[in-house]
């Protein structure tokens, strides 16, 4: 089939590579424009941009689709369908209708649960037992379109957002390849989403990344998983030479008790409202992420101290 691919982050790359590898004609790749990054603030291309260039594909980086020229250029590509994977720009009705079969979107949740920007993180932070990827037909609403195909992923007790991201990206690439094949045969069937069980995966705010030990150990463990490896859940405490911000990379729930926020006798264990959280891997300010024993080397764990 003749396709337009629209995507931006690393999550999108396996699907682009898989579609190109299946011999589909990629008329153009749409991605976000290069942005200043790093100490020198040099322009950096998106992961999809880099992947498209490596595949020898034509790349477009429009800032928006609000003018008729951008829409006309898109429509002139004469694509059978547009494949959208975490593109990051709102697509107006004119774009949604500009190809023969419309726009197929790969979304990383079990819709209608976790519509929106951060479905992987929100599923883990909520303690969901599973998530998945779905292929849906895009419409004007936010992730409201009918769904054609799905793959499920179990979210184990220790799985974090980075691991779920990579697993879902691989599952999604295979799923979209199968969906496009079915579309080409005229056998792709869409089913409307349920009106029940709708939740929204709002973008992660900086304020909610801080760990509040007046919550349960289960809730905090899920937050650590959902925010690892980035942006990372964190707290402030004096465990060395003064107060510092400590990012928690891995944790586990233990049965110890104490006043919420108390640094318990066992190094790395902090009391919560219900149970306690053991820090397995952390990143101190100005240091790289390390296992607990390495991170605390040369430091006496200040048992009895308190996390504000």
Q: Domain locations in the chain?
A: 2-200, 206-295
List Cβ neighbours of 148 (8 Å cut-off, separation of 6 or more). 104, 135, 136, 137, 179, 182, 188, 189, 190, 191
Q: Can you tell me the distance from the alpha carbon of 80 to that of 171, in angstroms, rounded to the nearest whole number?
A: 23
Give the torsion sign (CA, 231, 232, 236, 242).
Answer: negative
104 within 8 A of 205, measured Cβ to Cβ: no
Give per-residue burial for 77-94: e unless 16+ CB within 10 Å, then b: bebbbbbbbbbebebeee
- Specify the CATH superfamily of domain 2-200: Formyl transferase, N-terminal domain (3.40.50.170)
Q: What is the pLDDT of residue 239?
A: 83
Q: What is the pLDDT of residue 286?
A: 84
Residue of 164, 264, 272, 269 lying closest to 218 (CA atoms): 272
Q: Can you tell me the distance from the alpha carbon of 208 to that of 32, in angstroms, rounded to the nearest whole number?
A: 27
List Cβ neighbours of 187 (8 Å cut-off, separation of 6 or more). none
**CB count, 10 Å around CB of 232?**
17
**CB count, 10 Å around CB of 281?**
19
Q: What is the pLDDT of residue 240?
A: 72
Q: Can you tell me the distance from the alpha carbon of 288 to that of 294, in angstroms, rounded to the nearest whole number?
A: 11
The torsion region of residue 102 among left (phi > 0), alpha (psi -120 to 50) and beta comes to left
CATH 3.40.1130.10 for domain 206-295, yes or no, is no
Query: Each residue's pLDDT tens digit in the chain (308 positions)?
Result: 999 999 999 999 999 999 999 999 999 999 999 988 877 788 899 999 999 999 999 999 999 999 899 999 999 999 999 999 999 999 999 999 999 999 999 999 999 999 999 999 999 999 999 999 999 999 999 999 999 999 999 999 999 999 999 999 999 999 999 999 999 999 999 999 999 999 999 999 999 999 999 999 999 999 999 999 999 999 999 887 778 999 999 999 999 999 999 999 999 999 999 999 999 999 988 889 999 999 999 888 999 999 98
């Amino acid at each position: 089939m003749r396709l337009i691919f629209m995507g931006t982050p690393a999550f999108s790359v396996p699907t682009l590579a898989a579609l190109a590898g299946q011999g589909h004609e990629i008329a153009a790749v749409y991605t976000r424009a290069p942005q200043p990054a790093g100490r020198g603030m040099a322009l950096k291309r998106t992961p999809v941009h880099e992947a498209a260039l490596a595949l020898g594909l034509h790349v477009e980086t429009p800032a928006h689709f609000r003018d008729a020229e951008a829409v006309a250029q898109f429509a002139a590509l004469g694509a059978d369908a547009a494949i959208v994977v975490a593109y990051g720009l709102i697509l107006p009705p004119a774009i949604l209708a500009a190809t023969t079969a419309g726009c197929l979107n790969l979304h990383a949740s079990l819709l209608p649960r976790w519509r929106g920007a951060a479905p992987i993180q929100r599923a883990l932070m909520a303690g969901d037992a599973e998530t998945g990827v779905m292929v849906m037909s895009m419409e004007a609403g936010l992730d409201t379109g009918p769904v054609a195909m799905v793959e499920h992923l179990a979210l184990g007790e220790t799985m974090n957002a980075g691991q779920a991201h990579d697993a879902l990206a691989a599952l999604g690439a295979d799923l979209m390849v199968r969906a496009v094949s079915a579309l080409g045969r005229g056998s792709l069937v869409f089913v409307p989403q349920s009106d029940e069980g709708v939740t929204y995966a709002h973008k992660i705010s900086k304020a909610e990344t801080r760990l509040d030990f007046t919550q349960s150990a289960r809730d905090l463990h899920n937050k650590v998983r959902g925010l690892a490896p980035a942006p990372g859940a964190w707290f402030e405490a004096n465990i060395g030479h003064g107060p510092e911000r400590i990012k928690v990379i891995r944790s586990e729930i233990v049965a110890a008790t104490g006043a919420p926020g108390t640094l318990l006798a066992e190094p790395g264990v902090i009391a919560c409202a219900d149970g306690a959280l053991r820090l397995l891997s952390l990143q101190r300010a100005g240091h790289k992420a390390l296992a607990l024993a390495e991170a605390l080397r040369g430091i006496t764990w200040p048992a009895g101290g308190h996390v504000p």
